[in-house]
Chains A and B, each alone.
Chain A
Amino acid sequence: MATADIHIAEDTHHDDHEHDHDHSTNFWTHYIFTTDHKMIAKQFLISGIIWALIGGALSVIFRLQLGFPEAQLGWLKPILGEWITAEGKIDPEFYLALVTMHGTIMVFFVLTAGLSGTFSNFLIPLQIGARDMASGFMNMLSYWFFFASSVIMLTSLFIETGPASGGWVIYPPLSALPQAVNGSGLGMTLWLTAMALFIVSTLLGGINYITTVINLRTQGMSFTKLPLTIWAFFLTAIIGLLSFPVLFSAALLLIFDRSFGTSFYLSDIYINGEALPNQGGSPILFQHLFWFLGHPEVYIVLLPALGITSEIIATNSRKPIFGYKAMIGSMLFIAILSFVVWAHHMFVTGMNPFLGSVFMLLTLIIAVPSSVKVFNYLTTLWKGNIRFTTAMLFSIGLVSFFISGGLTGIHLGNAAIDIQLHDTYFVVAHFHLVMGSASFFGMMAGVYHWFPKMFGRMMDAKLGYIHFWLTFVGVYLVFFPMHYIGIAGYPRRYYSFTNFDAFNSFSDLNMLVSIAAILTLAAQFIFLFNFFYSIWRGRKAPANPWQSTTLEWTTPVNPGHGNWPGEIPTVYRWPYDYSKPGAKDDFIPQHIPFSETPESNLDEENDLIKLEGAGSGKSIVIDEK
């Protein structure tokens, strides 16, 4: 694993990396400042796991407050210090900081960096047949910008005035005025700095993913032969590239308002006995800019998970994914629509109601490609020969969450219904299922599925099953009851409901949710044990443990820098030749030419045989035109 063996093949346009084939690596260049996409992927994965634990722990702390409002939390004083009041309660401002940081961490640091960062990096070169990313150096920068961002965000948890506490959406004026809430002081400055670095990291990564997919596909790997994972990562990167700069501009204007006296978002404010001079700004402007990223962000988080799931469900159902082209089409359609639905987060913010009508129409259209995806998953399972690997279980769980959470989107996308449901627990239930849990399950599925390729060893299946069932049941127990709480009108981000008679009737459900949340977090330690134990002591993996068709399984069990020791295989067929009638095995990998499988070829595939001339560049040209 330490030394890579890259041959300079005759076919030079495959080898973009001969210039850096001096691979005498040491600890620093191998594990820390590495340019190997596989190691960078692992760096993102481990960082993501650490962030997920922090984000999960924060949620458990505020669930303690919500589930057990009377409980004495003095025992948390050694960890939380002054944030526990003298009466043994969580400080109300710290409560807001907890929900803010939980949201920020989970959305950006876990489900964007941890998911895209890990699997786009790991799988793009391996599945398209490339030696590495287009720019290994930019890829390395991407991780280290993310690392710097992480350090700053983590630091903000420990400062005296506390981290940002205006909600993960950081709406001004609350986020702009330190006199409105303590977290809008230094905590907010650190938040904005961290996010600026984070955006740089995302853009560096995204440019790389796009370039790599377009330019470095191996011979024969046309866009119509790409696995759905790659399509998902590709579209995700494009969405990110187009929307993250808008968040950057929103953050920049907020920085100006906070530090340089501008009035982009501020107007007519009287606070702490003082009228501020700012006039003419609009808080709604910030919301538009924020959600112009914020909504595509949902798909940045979700599409990679859906791509991973497509791959895993096809492999373990031993069937081709149903409607390959429809799957690509619906992802493309979702990607485009994701840019024109942002204002459905703003129906009751005072935005012009006519805009509300337009965005309601566009939002509900997005349900069509989403439902196509669900039906295609179901049809892929139909008449399969299903192997319940842990990855498969998590993928099925994802589909269930995607359905359950997606359907409530039809309520919320309807402006008239949203009046009552906006900013209640119904919304919390909706997005935690469809975006949070679904994407988290996609990430877990990916880890279990590609662990053998990452570390050359297998994770323990039984522990995986226990982890899945505890998490799956736990997540439903946490988020399903929130629908009822939301229908009853409970607003989100409330520290306590005890001074409302109408909002004080669900202490039983809230307690159930909190207990389920604690158990679900506890169940993740089974995964942690399994993960780290298996890295060093897991069973040695075979070359193709899941009998999959994609290219990454043609590399050695422990691929070095450069991925394939010899030439990169040429691709002849699409990635879903599972259970093909007449074939010897129930899968035919992508690099097997049709000339070797006359028994299973379809008519049009027999015609392709004559194009399979030895190493001819011809087939590429024909495929791509």
Chain B
Amino acid sequence: MFEVIIAVGVLLLLVILYTLFRIGTLVNVVKGTDKKIVSTSNKVNAALMMIFLVAGLAFMFWYSWTYFDKYTLPVASEHGMLTDQLFWITTAVTGVVFVLTNVLLFWFSYKYQYKEGVRGKFFPDNTKLEMIWTIVPAIVLVGLVFTGLKAWNDITGEASEDAEVIEVMGYQFAWAARYPGVKDNQLGNYNYQLIDDQSGNLFGIDVTDENSYDDFTPLELHLPKGKEVLLNIRARDVLHSVFLPYQRVKMDAVPGMPTRFKFIATKTTQEMRDETGDPEFNYFLTCTEICGRGHFSMKMTVVVDEIEDYEKWKAEQQTWLKLNPDFLEQIPADKRELAKIKAGIENNELEASF
């Protein structure tokens, strides 16, 4: 019943609007305004141009100013401070051009609206003017390009030798991290054909490689403050993309083609909690490349520690092999003892688990 009333109401409204439209058209015909080239609407449209300009700019400046803290994310990495700075320089330059050109556009539209008996100025070209507005933007852009290029080359340059290497792997629909371990500080090899979710080999870790024995795979991503981190990024099913919003880190995870991103975190989780005044605050890692149904839910908690806390945390982690002792059997017999030592597996523990 309710729907019927709404339908009737809508229908009635449309009939009224149509009638108004017809009356308007007929009035125009009677008055002859439909034959004139320019009607009074021209003035109205010209005025609306100015109103739109003023209201639009006022609204933009008000929001940009008032809510600045709301739409800007605090920055927590070294290169992030640089790219943020470039962002705001570019925004300032383009902002000036934005305001200037839009003001000219709407103001000219208003100022030079149709007037009876006036003629436009026959002004087909002017080489000097055209040179100016070709060369000036070119120079400004050269400036922006070179600052950007320098930053880009620094960010994408080689990581230092002693950088903290961490492997991040994306899969439908979560992230997983693997650390090289405290004994050898080398990530073990992997092979996608060894991946087996049933048995717990998420990464396809190759247990014939000695370096894999002390690797550990925690559920949270821990990063040291002030030390260079090199993320080795991969995916095992479809494209994903590592995004650490506060650290200004983004790099796609590509199946079959490992990628890298190096950066230095500058604020610990605790420092950011103090800065934002939010005791619940946590950094996070999320996905920015469409990857299927759960794309929006690939969130992993990230913790940035002081370097001492970070080392302590690393030392406390149980190795992957220790948590998945079934894989000991696949290790060549001559390496099994080494594996037990590196993985921190006591013999009696093992017996207990068998």
Contact = CB atoms under 8 A, between A and B. Distances in A.
Interface string B288-315: 1111111111010000000000000000
Size band of the A side of the interface?
35 or more
B155 A416 contact: yes
Contacts of A421: 87
Interface string A282-307: 11100000000000000000000000
Nearest to A533: B21
A493 B295 contact: yes
Interface stretch (B119-127, B177-185, B211-219, B332-340): B119-127
A275 B192 contact: yes
B107 to A, nearest CB: 9
B234 to A, nearest CB: 8
Contacts of B245: 420, 489, 502
A460 B71 contact: no
Interface string A255-297: 0000000000011111101010001111110000000000000
A404 B91 CA distance: 12
A367 B37 CA distance: 37
Contacts of A403: 97-98, 101-102, 105
Contact of A382 (B44, B67, B108, B256): B108
A580 B90 CA distance: 42
A96 B293 contact: yes
Interface string A329-364: 000000000000000000011100100110011001
Contacts of B87: 411, 417, 420-421
B38 A484 contact: no
A576 B287 CA distance: 52
A377 B133 CA distance: 12
Interface string A35-51: 00000000000000000
Interface stretch (A14-22, A174-182, A447-455, A605-613): A174-182
Interface in A524-578: 539, 547, 576, 578
Size band of the B side of the interface?
35 or more
A166 B290 contact: yes
B237 A460 contact: no
Interface string B230-261: 00010011110101010011111011110100
B153 interface: yes
B82 A465 contact: no
B242 to A, nearest CB: 9
Given A167-B290, A396-B49, A480-B60, A502 B145 contact: no
A377 B24 CA distance: 34
A319 B239 CA distance: 52
A516 interface: no
Contact of A484 (B67, B90, B239): B67
Interface string B36-52: 01110110111011001
A465 B130 contact: no
Most buried by A among B97, B149, B238, B249: B238
Contacts of A467: none
Contact of B42 (A372, A384, A388): A388
Given A93-B293, A348-B241, A423-B289, A385 B112 contact: yes
A211 to B, nearest CB: 30
Contacts of B112: 317, 381-386
Interface stretch (B134-142, B220-228, B318-326, B342-350): B134-142
Nearest to B34: A539
Interface string B246-290: 001111101111010000000000000000001011001011111
Given A378-B105, A416-B83, 6 more contacts: A269-B238, A365-B141, A399-B105, A410-B94, A488-B71, A500-B284
24 contacts: A171-B239, A171-B289, A267-B257, A270-B193, A270-B195, A275-B195, A317-B120, A326-B130, A348-B251, A349-B254, A350-B259, A356-B156, A372-B130, A375-B133, A383-B120, A386-B113, A400-B105, A403-B98, A410-B93, A415-B152, A416-B148, A420-B250, A423-B289, A502-B284
